[in-house]
C-alpha cells in the first residue's frame, strides 16, 4: 500500500450519563455549537468548528459503569487542540471554574523538556479530556 486510506478524524462519539450536563459543559463552558442530534437515541452533536462530537446518553445512566482507562479497551482520553499557551491558560480558567470538573493534571509540559504544554481534566460525567498546544 502506498497511500493513506484515511484523512483524520471524522467525529468522536462519547457516551455520557446526562445529555443536559454534557451540553452545558461543551456548549456553555467551551463554546461548542449544538448542531443536531437524534432524540430517539438520545444524542446531541456538538462542534467547535474543527471537531464533531456525538454525545450519546447511556441507556441506563444509573447502572452504567464509569470507564477505567487502565483496565478497559477503548478511549483513554480525548485531546483537544488549543492555539498556544495563552489559549491553554484561557481554557484552564474556563474549565476549572466549572463546579463539576475534576482536575487530573495541571498545566505543564506534555513531557519533560517539551515545549508542548497540556492539562487534563475529568468533565462532568467522568470522561477524561486533555487540552494541548500544538506539537513543536
What pLDDT digit, counting tens, does each position of 65-77 carry?
888 888 888 888 9
7 pLDDT exceeds 90? no
Q: How far apart are CA 89 and CA 36, in angstroms?
A: 30
In this structure, what DSSP letter does residue 108 have? E
107 pLDDT exceeds 90? yes
The mean pLDDT value for 105-130 works out to: 95
The mean pLDDT value for 92-120 works out to: 96
6 pLDDT exceeds 90? no
In this structure, what DSSP letter does residue 46 have? E
| 123 Cα distance to chain centroid | 8
Answer with the residue of higher pLDDT: 63 or 85: 85
Q: Are 53 and 26 in contact (CB under 8 A)?
A: yes
Amino acid at each position: 500500500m502506498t497511500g493513506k486510506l484515511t484523512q483524520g478524524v471524522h467525529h468522536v462519539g462519547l457516551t455520557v450519563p446526562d445529555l443536559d450536563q454534557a451540553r452545558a459543559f461543551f456548549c456553555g463552558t467551551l463554546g461548542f455549537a449544538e448542531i443536531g442530534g437524534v432524540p430517539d437515541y438520545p444524542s446531541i452533536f456538538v462542534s467547535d468548528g474543527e471537531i464533531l462530537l456525538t454525545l450519546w446518553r447511556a441507556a441506563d445512566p444509573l447502572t452504567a459503569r464509569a470507564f477505567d482507562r487502565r483496565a478497559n479497551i477503548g478511549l483513554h482520553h480525548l485531546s483537544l487542540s488549543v492555539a498556544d499557551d495563552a489559549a491553554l491558560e484561557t481554557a484552564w480558567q474556563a474549565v476549572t471554574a466549572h463546579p463539576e470538573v475534576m482536575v487530573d493534571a495541571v498545566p505543564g509540559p506534555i513531557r519533560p523538556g517539551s515545549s508542548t504544554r497540556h492539562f487534563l481534566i475529568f468533565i462532568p460525567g467522568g470522561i477524561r479530556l486533555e487540552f494541548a498546544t500544538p506539537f513543536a
